[in-house]
Amino acid sequence: MINFKPVDENVTYLLLVRHGATDANEQRPYILQGDAIDLNLSENGRRQAEAVGNFLAKYPITAVYASTMKRSIETAETIARHHSLSIEEHSELKEADVGAWEGLDWGTIMEQYPEAHARFFENPAENPYLEGESYNDVHNRAAPKINELIERHRGEAFVVVAHNVVNRSLLAPILGIDMRYAKGIAQANTGINILKNDGKETKIVTLNSFFHLEGHEF
């Protein structure tokens, strides 16, 4: 078990978690679920939230944050309950605005918007979801809030429950990956990323851990 009580009081641990699954996540082919589709967790998603909550219950977590979206809030509340904490919501952490592609699957998008689809996949860092945000856009609104929370909890361990694109955009620079390739960073529903900040830099301790989920496909 990772020791979240470091000798150096400047060390902060951020447990960055993706929300549990919704019906949109489980639909096949799955549809894009950005900031306009605000679903609660599915039955499976609630089980995932309980699993990650039980797993994190043994750690000395001092605060839990969420985006303003239902799937994130519900997951965060499940985690916070084990620590007798209330959650704090921040709109900067909400999922990407996927614009005209909200609610569509990738096959339909490629068929109906071939040029915009090609541009996005060529470089999502600069080329946004049609009428929506790019990966750089998401990073530029989410990263300052994350940095603020890290400073607020200097020497502590805290949780942020966010979203697929948000997490990818935050993790790519830390991993040394060009933002145009951030789309390839896997983020399972309730996958846990542990980030360690020593006051000078942030490093990844664990990426997309989901050993708390039974039957999850690798």
Contacts of 48 (CB under 8 A, 6+ apart): 20, 21, 41, 75, 189, 190, 213
Q: Is residue 4 part of a domain?
A: no
Q: Do the beta carbons of residue 93 and residue 72 sit within 8 Å?
A: yes
Q: Do the beta carbons of residue 65 and residue 93 sit within 8 Å?
A: yes
**How confident is the model over 164-213, as pLDDT tens digits?**
999 999 999 999 999 999 999 999 999 999 999 999 999 999 999 999 99
Q: Is residue 7 part of a domain?
A: no
Q: How far is it, in rounded angstroms, from Cα 129 to Cα 98?
A: 5
**How confident is the model over 23-63, as pLDDT tens digits?**
999 989 989 999 999 999 999 999 999 999 999 999 999 99
Told to judge if 19 belongs to the known catalytic residues of this protein, a careful annotator would answer: yes
- Name the domain count of the chain: 1
In this predicted model, which residue has the larger pLDDT, 11 or 9?
11
Q: How far is it, in rounded angstroms, from Cα 156 to Cα 61?
A: 7
pTM: 0.94
pLDDT of residue 110: 97
Q: Is the pLDDT of residue 1 over 60?
A: no
Which of 19, 90, 139, 163 does the annotation list as catalytic? 19
Q: How far is it, in rounded angstroms, from Cα 194 to Cα 205?
A: 5
The whole-number average pLDDT for the span 6-32 is: 90
Q: Is the pLDDT of residue 218 over 50?
A: no
Q: Is residue 3 part of a domain?
A: no
Q: Is residue 35 part of a domain?
A: yes
Q: Six-digit token pair at 123?
A: 């470089």
Count the neighbouring beta carbons within 10 Å of the beta carbon of residue 80: 22
Instruction: Lay out the sheet containing 12-18: strands in order across.
Output: 87-89, 63-66, 157-162, 12-18, 192-197, 202-209
Q: Is the pLDDT of residue 8 over 90?
A: no
Q: Is residue 217 part of a domain?
A: no
Q: Is residue 216 part of a domain?
A: no
Q: Is residue 218 part of a domain?
A: no
CATH number of the domain residue 69 falls in? 3.40.50.1240
Q: Is residue 6 part of a domain?
A: no
Q: Is 217 exposed, middle or buried (0-12, 13-18, 19+ CB in 10 A)?
A: exposed
Structural domain range at position 58: 12-209
Q: Is the pLDDT of residue 5 over 80?
A: no
Q: Do the beta carbons of residue 203 and residue 174 sit within 8 Å?
A: yes
Contacts of 118 (CB under 8 A, 6+ apart): none
The backbone region for 103, taken as left when phi is positive above 0, alpha when psi lies in -120 to 50, beta otherwise, is left
Which of 50, 82, 90, 95 does the annotation list as catalytic? 95
Q: How far is it, in rounded angstroms, from Cα 199 to Cα 11?
A: 7
